[in-house]
């Protein structure tokens, strides 16, 4: 197979983990007889510095000509002024909206090799394997807003249509059918009108998936149950903001935010793949970044956009094997354990591929 992948390193540790991910994909291509063409573009803070736009037209064109997008991270203290008219995160939101990437998949699982250092009791973490399905192009991040600068009143609007909720609910139900057939829908239907629409719509869509058990949880209860009964969850579907917060909270189950991948998909096979973590400016350039979230995002790219299941599984197995062998980056190392650099951990994974 020949595939073109748009590569958007972004800011902070983004270029470091993306660089290792392209090395890993080259190793996969060599082993399995594929050809991956990487075309690089700018996004986020670096794009603002170079062009004044967090999502330059040239970057959009690169992505439009690609089979999938691999992205590092955007933002950082240099561009963190909340009153700025141009912000790095608008580049990422713009990509999601331009390409209609409405469904964000964020898998979270526990690793036996890391259980001893997890902040929760080991018995709570046994067999945790959750897939978050987050609605990505609607809700409070995209609703009508009013920014008053230094004024006294501003607002953001959480807006959903039935079609938007149904679209992401169908993705979540289909995912549950391929797993343990349990779906938890998270909302705030006791307070918010938009969330009452969310719940009604999910109930309607459920009629087409009677083999899937459906549970509803208010978001405040969900935050608690994620830490007290995490292994009871299979697939969790939530709106844009709640899905963002809950999946970040769930990073403690895996041991670190650096472990978590994500895929942002539209109705066809096209998608954007990025680790859940941010730019981590405090460690940027030091070779300390954990590349696992980026590597697993690359595996999701192979699986969802290119249909290469064996190749995706090979990456996931290589990551597991490196962890089982005792390789640890700084964020998942216990006191006294040897710390592997970003490049050393990548070498360990690539050698196992």
Asked whether 70 and 262 are in contact (CB, 8 A), the reply is no
| Catalytic annotation, pick one of 208, 220, 282, 324 | 220
**Rounded-to-integer distance, Cα 323 and Cα 182, Å:** 29
* Catalytic (active site) residue 244: yes
Are residues 227 and 252 in contact, defined by beta-carbon separation less than 8 angstroms? yes
141 is an active site residue: yes
The active-site residue, picked from 244, 273, 304, 331, is 244
Point out the catalytic residue in the list 26, 53, 156, 248: 248
Q: Which of 111, 187, 188, 331 is catalytic?
A: 188
- Tokens 């650096």 locate to 258
φ and ψ at residue 218, rounded to 5 degrees: -70, 145
- The torsion of the CA quartet 129, 248, 79, 271, rounded to 10 degrees, works out to 30
CB 139 within 8 A of CB 155: no
**Catalytic annotation, pick one of 141, 209, 273, 304:** 141
Q: Within 13 Å, how many C-alpha atoms sit on residue 106's CB side?
A: 28
CA dihedral 254, 243, 84, 94 (to 10 degrees): 100
CA 30, 31, 37, 38 torsion: positive or negative? negative
CA distances, 166 to each of 137, 161, 194, 338 (Å): 13, 9, 13, 48
156 is catalytic: no
98: which residues sit within 8 A by CB, 6+ positions away?
Answer: 55, 60
Residue whose C-alpha is closest to residue 257's, from 324, 332, 339: 332
Told to judge if 286 belongs to the known catalytic residues of this protein, a careful annotator would answer: no
CB 176 within 8 Å of CB 159: no
Which has the closest alpha carbon to 171: 217, 102, 219, 230?
102
In the annotation, is 324 catalytic? no
Question: Which residues belong to the active site?
Answer: 141, 188, 220, 244, 248
């Amino acid at each position: 197979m020949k595939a073109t992948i748009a590569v958007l390193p972004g800011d902070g540790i983004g270029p470091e983990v993306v660089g290792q991910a392209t090395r890993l994909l080259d190793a996969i291509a060599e082993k399995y007889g594929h050809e991956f063409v990487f075309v690089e573009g700018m996004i986020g803070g670096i794009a603002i510095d170079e062009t004044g736009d967090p999502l330059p037209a040239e970057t959009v064109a690169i992505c439009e000509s690609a089979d999938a997008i691999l992205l590092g991270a955007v933002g950082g203290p240099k561009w963190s002024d909340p009153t700025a008219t141009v912000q790095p995160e608008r580049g990422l939101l713009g990509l999601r909206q331009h390409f209609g990437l409405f469904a964000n998949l964020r898998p979270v699982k526990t690793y036996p090799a890391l259980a001893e250092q997890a902040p929760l009791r080991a018995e709570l973490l046994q067999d945790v394997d959750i897939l978050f399905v987050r609605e990505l192009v609607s809700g409070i991040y995209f609703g009508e807003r009013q920014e008053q600068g230094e004024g006294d009143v501003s607002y953001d609007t959480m807006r959903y249509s039935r079609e938007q909720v149904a679209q992401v609910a169908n993705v979540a139900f289909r995912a549950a059918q391929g797993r343990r057939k349990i779906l938890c829908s998270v909302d705030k239907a006791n307070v918010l009108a938009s969330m009452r629409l969310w719940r009604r719509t999910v109930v309607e869509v459920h009629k087409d998936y009677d083999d899937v058990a459906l549970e509803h949880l208010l978001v405040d209860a969900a935050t608690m149950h994620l830490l007290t009964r995490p292994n009871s969850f299979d697939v969790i579907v939530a709106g844009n903001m709640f899905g963002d917060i809950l999946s970040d909270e769930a990073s403690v189950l895996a041991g670190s935010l650096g472990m978590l991948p994500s895929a942002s998909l539209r109705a066809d096979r096209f998608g954007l793949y990025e680790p859940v973590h941010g730019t981590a400016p405090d460690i940027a350039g030091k070779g300390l970044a954990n590349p696992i979230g980026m590597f697993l995002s690359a595996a999701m790219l192979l699986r969802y956009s290119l249909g290469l299941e064996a190749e995706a599984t090979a990456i996931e197995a290589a990551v597991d094997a490196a962890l089982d062998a005792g390789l640890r980056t700084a964020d998942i190392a216990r006191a006294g354990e040897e710390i592997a650099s970003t490049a050393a951990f990548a070498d360990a994974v690539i050698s196992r591929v």
